[in-house]
Amino acid sequence: MDELQRQMHFAQLFCKEGTKYLLNSDVNSDHLYCAVVFLQTSFELLVRNQHLNKSGPGISNTKKDAILKGSLKELRDEILKDHGDTQSHELVFSSLHKLRNKILHEGNSLNSQIPDLVANTCLLLIYGFSSVLKYHNHQSDSRPSILKKFLGEDLFLKLINFEVYKEKIQESLDNEDSLTSCAFCSQQTVVANSGNDSYDCHLCGFELLDFVGSYCECPNCKEPEGFLYEKLNPGIYGQSNGKCWNCDLISELIQCEWCGEKYFISNESEELLSKLELNFSKTNTPKCPACFELDA
């Protein structure tokens, strides 16, 4: 195991231990303090690892020593300066620092605030820490997927289902009318807005960016906004791949760019598919037969 692998290994261990302290059923200020210390250590290892990784294998011993022993704030600020990441690193760094100082100065007098502080730290893990991990690994996976791999499935599921955290999320959604289930965690915590194609789970942090994908009613189980499909990399007749989170239907879908009509490949005839393929080959735009004839 080389230096980079060792740092990531311990960053993962410290993050897991911090999360376990955070999710203690009888959590108190001592548990929360331990959680913060472990999470701070994990974050520090990630930041130092980022710098070592960026420097490459030819790094001098002097520079390597400076990265391993240098000021965390200076290293963090350099990441912000070099890469313009002004949110995730700053959020995690400042939030954990403030919480640690708060616990040190107020101690047991915080007991009435513990549930809210724990819920906020869960939020920090799910949104802030996962963003740091995504940035660090340049992964195309979703943030909750990356955090799930880092923590392990059991601990991740315990985190997003932890009572005080889940209650906080449910309270924030009390006035929302258009809730649907999340394709990642299966909870009714997505505020679906097909008007602007937003798809954001408030519980696990899963999001579907409008230029990457969208969602619609499933043709099989009729679940509203249940069928998720990608928009990038269309096939030979402009089709997209998709899946229903509710009934697990897997199908290709074509949406006419003129009238908006959707065609699910599994439900359509060979004759229609041939027309769709021909239309796409001529215009390079998904266009249904009716619109193609109008435009002819």
Domain ranges of the chain: 3-172, 190-295
**Side-chain-facing half-sphere of 198: CA atoms under 13 Å:** 12
Classify the phi-psi angles of 205: left when phi > 0, otherwise alpha if psi is within -120 to 50, otherwise beta: left
Tell me the whole-structure pTM to 2 decimals. 0.70
Tokens standing for residue 123: 């939020």
Picking from 85, 3, 73, the residue whose alpha carbon sits closest to that of residue 43 is: 73
Range of lowest pLDDT (120-129, 218-227, 228-237): 228-237
Distance of CA 119 to the CA centre of its chain: 18
List pLDDT tens digits, range 103-138: 988 877 888 899 999 999 999 999 888 888 877 665
CA 1/CA 6 separation, integer angstroms: 6
25-34, 184-193, 226-235, 241-250: which has the highest mean pLDDT?
25-34
Q: DSSP 3-state assignment of 279?
A: helix
